[in-house]
Structure 1
């Protein structure tokens, strides 16, 4: 089920909504020990130079940093419940951040009802900023663009209410340029429209038996097919008749104003992988099959927010070299962060009803099915999996940041900030918390 479909679905039954709200209570004094800044990095204004340091991946210093991070985590788990305000490396409120804004943690709009269940809070950094005016500007432009592209015709009120402009503002705190944020928002909304139109929503034309064909054609909007002259004009006309293909092409064109060719190629790759994930979920639906937990978690690595997270440097105004982005340990850390961010969506979306087919795929449901446990236990286990992924990213990214290039340090810090912004958007969105 796509992001937009999930957040525009009707509320779940009361007991499920209450249980999930209990888990995801977002009290300012109960953030546990996630630092605001990734260890080894500091929040910096867009365009400022980062200090130079040791270069080259795989030095002994990386192992030392990883060991210290693990010790900090274990100490925090033993007694950090009341120490959230004294995290090592956490800058004081009002420390320098993105231009013209405070990087003090953002207070969430989520409910604060814990009902004494003892379900753990999610381990996640706080958002670095909140700029409602910038969010509104980006969101207004994004809705106007969706109208021009033709996606979600007659449903633009849902797009506006989803407030993806706020997500872009929160997730990319090192840029206050609305046009760069809009470029990232266009790419994201086009990807989610692909899911809605081709995978999830029959009222928008999705048909499981046509999914592979539709996704193959959609990809040509990002990586153009070069046909012989006899066929090219008719092909171009077909591309312009499909609003999803129009949106995908338009989003990439806008991003290309700011992205280097290697960054564009990176996005193409991540979207191609995303489309494989869409096809995988379509196969489950066509078979009426619930995947196992291992298969589902592997699926959530490829059907994830990774295409959005991969744009952190483009929006920030710098370029992470392709060789560093593809380095196996960098890839491991970033994909784990993307999986964790997507599991946040799994958890928050449980406050909404399942889709009309009666089949919904999210981690708690998959765990409950495989382990035969209660939904409460499955949600707790899902939270533990999320937390393990975030802790692992924090440890491994801190080690990589210690020995990596300035661009890598900034990118890893941007991924950490994306996690915090993503969580804050889910926690504060009335589309998730209205139940």
Structure 2
């Protein structure tokens, strides 16, 4: 089920929905104590966040005890390029949640409770002696950074342009007001805090909405036009629209006509053309690869549904690695106006960190939609539902265990990305920090959804 389908679904109001709402809207945003959220400047981005993401020379934390551990090697270590380094990205100085209120108190000059790690000190990878998340007496807390800015005016501009474009290409006819209410302009504004260019944000927003439309129209969610046995064929043609197929002229006309007759294909072609204004050939190729893998994930979930097959959790998570927000996240440098070298993007260590972040962000959407997409047959394809069956636990316990999976993924991303920035290019450092900001922006958008505000 696509993100848009989940957003348009009726609000849930049962006990589990209340637990998830509290989880997503809770005030804690474990993150970088030395940064925190700052009121946006004229560009909509706080000074510290701007320095962080754009590589500006200002480093307000330089030379201080509170310097982000992910930007230096721990004491006694040289530069590290492997995932075994205990260096950390912002927010990873302790177990998830440990850099919340306590970290903010220390940043303000207060004392850290005794027994905790030193601010900015090295800690072990998840799976070692430390648990990947801290328990809270009031329930689970997502380990996820805060959003780095909030610019409602910029979000509104992007959102209105996106709705106008959706009407132009013909997707979601009769439901455009619901698309407007979903406020995807806000999602893109929050997720890409290193630009205030509405056209760059719009290019990424068009790609995202085309991806979600392909799920909605082709995968039997809403108004399906090609589900079931024709799904693979539909997705193959969609791939030919994203990565133009090279046919002999007399047959190329047929492909062109097929694209013009299908609103989803028109959306993909239009979105890719817009993206090409800003993306290099290598960045376009990267995006097309991630979309092709997304289509593989669509096919896997369709196979599960069509055969009433309940995958084990490991298989579901493998599918979530490709059926995820990765096509959106991969545009981080395109939207930011710089280029990550292809050899660094393809580095297995970078790929591992990136896919963990993408899976984690998609699990937030799983949690967000748990109570809203319940299938009468009992075959629900989200992580908490599958955990509840496999581990024979209650829905509330399954939510907590799903949060643990999410937190472990985010903490591991932070740990391994922090090691990578020590030896990678400035572009890699900016890209990985941009992904970290994307996680916070996406979570903030989910938490601020009108759907849950109404339920409150």
Alignment TM-score, normalising by the size of structure 1:
0.85
d(CA) in 2 for partners of 1:374, 1:227 = 54
The Cα shift of 1:61 comes to: 3.3
Is 1:2 the counterpart of 2:8 in the alignment? no
The separation in 2 between residues aligned to 1:228 and 1:63, in whole angstroms, is 47
Residue 23 of structure 1 pairs with residue 42 of structure 2: no
d(CA) in 1 for partners of 2:340, 2:318: 26
Matches of 1:10 and 1:32, distance apart in 2: 30
Correspondence for 2:141: 121
SS of the equivalent of 1:119 reads coil
Compare 60-69 and 244-253 and name the one that shifted more.
60-69
1:178 maps onto 2:198 in alignment: yes
Q: Distance in 2 between matches of 1:206 and 1:132?
A: 37
Q: 1:80 to 1:321 in 2, by over 3 A?
A: closer
What SS does the aligned partner of 2:361 have?
helix
Contact 1:167–1:421, Cα closer than 8 Å, also in 2:
yes
* Aligned mate of 1:405, from 398, 416, 425: 425
**1:44 has 2:50 as partner:** yes
CA distance in 2, matches of 1:355, 1:206: 21
8 Å CA contact 2:83–2:349 kept in 1: the answer is no
Q: Quick one: structure 1 residues 185 and 68, their matched pair in 2 at CA, closer, same or farther if it must change by over 3 Å?
A: closer
* Compared CA separation, residues 62 and 238, structure 1 to 2 (3 A): closer
> Residue 67 of structure 1: which of 82, 86, 100 is its match?
86
Q: CA deviation at 1:123?
A: 0.5
Distance 2:148 2:219 in 1: 34
Partners of 1:33 and 1:83 within 8 A in 2: no
Q: Is 1:132 equivalent to 2:152 in the alignment?
A: yes
- SS state at 2:249 partner: coil
| Residue in 1 that maps onto 2:212 | 192
Partner of residue 243 from structure 1, selected from 263, 268, 281: 263
- In structure 2, relative to structure 1, the CA distance for the partners of 1:67 and 1:235 (3 Å cut) is closer
Structure 1 equivalent of residue 102 of structure 2: 83
More deviation, 140-149/392-401: 392-401
Greater relative contact order structure (CA < 8 Å, 6+ sep): 1
Name the structure 2 match of 1:340. Answer: 360
More helix, by proportion:
1
Q: Alpha-carbon deviation of 1:364?
A: 0.1
Task: Report deviation, 1:158.
Answer: 1.3
For 1:188 and 1:169, the matched residues in 2 are separated by 13
Three-state SS of the structure 2 residue aligned to 1:233 is helix
| Number of aligned residues | 401
Name the SS of the counterpart of 1:141 in structure 2: helix
- Counterpart of 2:254 (choices 229, 234, 248) is 234
Pick closer, same or farther for the CA change 1:9–1:157 going to 2, 3 Å. same
Secondary structure at 1:122 match in 2: coil
- The 3 A distance-change label for structure 1 pair 50 and 408 is farther
